Every structure is written in structure tokens, then in C-alpha cells.
Amino acid sequence: MQDQFKKAQRQARIAVIDVQRCGLPDDLALRQIRRRFHGQKRIVRMFVFDHEDRVTELNHGDNL
């Protein structure tokens, strides 16, 4: 999960993470992603796909 997040920060300001590939349970992965997302400023919007193909959208406001 940490590597995916670091790669995303070096790329676009909008990121997509698929937790199906990380091997963690959805709830744990989403907690980690939320903590990392809100602890940084580079990525302003993130879409997270879980094991059931549900999408969670995270935003840092309307500053795209």
C-alpha cells in the first residue's frame, strides 16, 4: 500500500488505487489510505476500488 501511494504522489494530482492487489482487508486498506491521503497535499482527489468493485472517492476540496 505504501509503495502504491508513493508512486501516485509522484504522478498526477488525481490517483486511483485498487486494493484488490494489496492483499489487505478492505476496511484496513481504506483506513490506511484515508490517513495517508489526509496527511499530504499533493493528491487532491483519489478513487479507491475495493474487492467488491465499490468505489470510495476522497477529496481535498475543490482545488483541482
The whole-model pTM stands at: 0.80
- Give per-residue pLDDT as tens, 39-64: 888 899 999 999 999 999 999 875 44
- Give per-residue pLDDT as tens, 19-40: 887 888 999 999 999 999 998 8
Please provide residue 51's backbone torsions phi and psi, each rounded to the nearest 5 degrees: -65, -20
1: pLDDT strictly greater than 90: no
**Residue 27: enclosing H or E segment and its boundaries?**
helix 26-38
